[in-house]
Amino acid sequence: MAIVIVLGTQWGDEGKAKITDLLAESADVVVRCQGGCNAGHTVTHNGEVFKFHLIPSGMLYDNKHCIIGAGTVIDPAVLVREIEEIQAKGYKADGLRLSTRAHLTTPYQTALDKAQESKRDDKTKIGTTGRGIGPTYADKVGRRGLRIGDLYETEDILKQKIENFLQPKQAELAGVIDKAYEEQVTELMDFCRTYREKLKPYICDSVSTVHDHLGQNAQVLLEGAQGTFLDVDYGTYPYVTSSNTLASGLCTGAGLGPTQIDKVIGVTKAYTTRVGEGPFPTELKDSIGEHIGDVGQEFGTTTGRRRRCGWVDAVMLKYAARVNGLTGLAMTKLDVLDALAEVKICVAYRDKKSGEPLESFPSQLSSLDTIEPVYETLPGWQTSITDIRKEADLPQAAREFLTRLSALVGVPIDIISVGPERNQTMVLNHPIIGPQGCAMAVS
Ligand code: GDP
Ligand code: IMO
Ligand code: MG
């Protein structure tokens, strides 16, 4: 039995789904633990591209148990559509389970998310995905949220829960939902009735489900959504999502304790991207940034927005290693840097005026206004690596880039990805089945 966490170390879209799908071959259970349909998780298999928003990225294997855990927020319309889409492509959804503790995103929270965002000016806008994530988590911690399990209460209890949910929101909903209170209650009752039936085959008490699998010696993968710097506590607040995206948040979302976790794999792009607003120390607003965005096809999976691109940032990655307890890195999209004559790694930050170094990623964003990145420049490899399958066959310059990055972060590289397909990968140290080479040394 092993429990392995796969999470993002940057601002999301690191390739978590590709790595989860790859490792899922050796796992019995895959759990999505937090976030909602703000996530856009791409799995490419035999040329076919799947974009999952809520379904765990283990769903393409027959007989895989895929659980959507208690820490998630669920727009049922999106989930039902996603289930229908994979079924239409000939895949089964029999192994899918949805926690009764997960929270429900109603159309009202989605409307509020969009309305709140449209009221923000250029300085305060967050650039959310507009999927109702912030309002749903606010209702959850405000203890007025609706949960999946509530759909299966009696009509009287459900109505009472809907009223508890709606009453405190009336001022906020004015001008957003153009309906009288009684009409709102009726509309949400109908909404709940619709999805009660459609979701019924999938619901479970996820604590029993996950732990029953563990009791049978299952190999379990926890799939993160978003990334370390979008974490509501440890990310670039307030330019973050509304859930805990770190290893600890995944434990909570899956109903597991920290002592049960064997490995924490930090999925890391060979450069950095960010979609939406917020600080980005190594952002490239030049032709190199544009080149990386074009070659890497850096467009948001959920919203289609162009992602901002920049150099890989070892200051951020060291912080990610600390707050997640990373045991290994999965380096993705190394191939995207193929054509560059030189590649850079941000090794430190320093004050623009005094040159004073900043030791760690700061907690206050204002500190980022006055710093600049310090780069180490390495030669590029200027050859295509996308067909390489053995780490030893990588060009020397690519190996040096990886070795240096690993040394700076203090975490070994367990997996190298050189393309979107499952087989475009070099597994040096398999987190579930063990070393197949050996992890790239931290020198
Ligand atoms: P996630 O949200 O972390 O699962 O990542 P996304 O799916 O949003 O974005 C990652 C994108 O990069 C997807 O289009 C993947 O198919 C693609 N991808 C993943 N790994 C690689 C890689 O090693 N090389 C290239 N070129 N593309 C990759
Ligand atoms: P995956 O799982 C990249 C970003 C949004 C916005 C901020 C808040 O595919 O890596 P939200 O809708 O969550 O309230 O938006 O977080 N964001 C993501 N960026 N990848 C994601 O998910 C993201 N999920 C949210 O762009 O800046
Ligand atoms: Mg994504």
Q: Which domains does the chain have, with CATH numbers?
A: 3-85+207-435 (3.90.170.10), 103-201 (1.10.300.10)
Question: In 3D, which of 369, 336, 371, 337 has the Cα closest to residue 353?
Answer: 371
Pocket test residue of 128, 223, 237 for ligand 2, highest count of atoms within 8 A of CB: 128
Give residue 437's pLDDT.
62
Tokens representing 321 are 């290693």
Question: In 3D, which of 389, 381, 377 has the Cα closest to residue 419?
Answer: 389
Pocket test residue of 332, 421, 426 for ligand 1, highest count of atoms within 8 A of CB: 332
Q: Is 115 left (phi over 0), alpha (psi -120 to 50) or beta?
A: alpha
Report how far residue 423's alpha carbon sits from residue 419's, in angstroms, rounded to the nearest whole number.
8
Give residue 122's pLDDT.
86
Tokens representing 264 are 């924490």
Using CB atoms within 10 A of its CB, is residue 108 exposed (0-12), middle (13-18) or buried (19+)? buried
Buried residues in 199-222 as b, exposed as e (16+ CB within 10 A): beebbbbbbebbeebbeeebbbbb
Pocket test residue of 114, 230, 250, 333 for ligand 2, highest count of atoms within 8 A of CB: 230
Q: Does ligand 1 have an atom closer than 6 angstroms to the CB of 18?
A: yes
Give residue 442's pLDDT.
55
Q: Does ligand 2 have an atom closer than 6 angstroms to the CB of 236?
A: no
Q: φ and ψ at 328, to 5 degrees?
A: -160, 160
The ligand that comes nearest to the alpha carbon of residue 230 is 2
The ligand that comes nearest to the alpha carbon of residue 276 is 2
Give residue 443's pLDDT.
42
Distance 127 CA to ligand 3 centre (A): 15
Distance 298 CA to ligand 1 centre (A): 9
- 160-186 tens-digit pLDDT: 999 999 999 999 999 999 999 999 999
For ligand 1, atom 7, the nearest C-alpha belongs to: 42
The ligand that comes nearest to the alpha carbon of residue 127 is 2
Buried residues in 311-324 as b, exposed as e (16+ CB within 10 A): bbbbbbbbbbbebb
Q: Which residues are catalytic?
A: 13, 41
Q: Does ligand 2 have an atom closer than 6 angstroms to the CB of 241?
A: yes
* Residue appearing with tokens 């950095």: 272
Report how far residue 230's alpha carbon sits from residue 8's, in angstroms, rounded to the nearest whole number.
9
Tokens representing 368 are 């980022």
Report how far residue 227's alpha carbon sits from residue 266's, in angstroms, rounded to the nearest whole number.
9
Q: Does ligand 1 have an atom closer than 6 angstroms to the CB of 409?
A: no
Give residue 292's pLDDT.
98
- DSSP assignment of 254-295 equals HT--GGG--EEEEEEESEEEE-SSS--TTB--SHHHHHHHHH
Vertex 258, ends 148 and 73: CA angle to 5°?
20
Distance 351 CA to ligand 3 centre (A): 32
Distance 51 CA to ligand 3 centre (A): 9
Amino acid code (one letter) for 47: G
Q: Does ligand 2 have an atom closer than 6 angstroms to the CB of 131?
A: yes
Residues of the chain with pLDDT under 50: 443
Give residue 263's pLDDT.
98
pTM exceeds 0.95: yes
Beta-ladder partners of 97? 67
Q: Does ligand 1 have an atom closer than 6 angstroms to the CB of 298?
A: no
Over its C-alpha atoms, the chain yields an Rg (Å, rounded) of: 22
Q: Does ligand 1 have an atom closer than 6 angstroms to the CB of 40?
A: yes
Report how far residue 24's alpha carbon sits from residue 58's, in angstroms, rounded to the nearest whole number.
6
Distance 47 CA to ligand 1 centre (A): 14
* Chain-centre distance for alpha carbon 37: 10
Report how far residue 51's alpha carbon sits from residue 40's, in angstroms, rounded to the nearest whole number.
6
Q: Does ligand 1 have an atom closer than 6 angstroms to the CB of 227?
A: no
For ligand 2, atom 20, the nearest C-alpha belongs to: 12
For residue 36, give the H/E element and its range.
Answer: none
Report how far residue 57's alpha carbon sits from residue 18's, in angstroms, rounded to the nearest whole number.
8
* Chain-centre distance for alpha carbon 184: 33
Distance 16 CA to ligand 3 centre (A): 8
Give residue 1's pLDDT.
83
- 292-301 tens-digit pLDDT: 999 999 998 7
Pocket test residue of 241, 246, 273, 305 for ligand 2, highest count of atoms within 8 A of CB: 241
Distance 15 CA to ligand 2 centre (A): 14
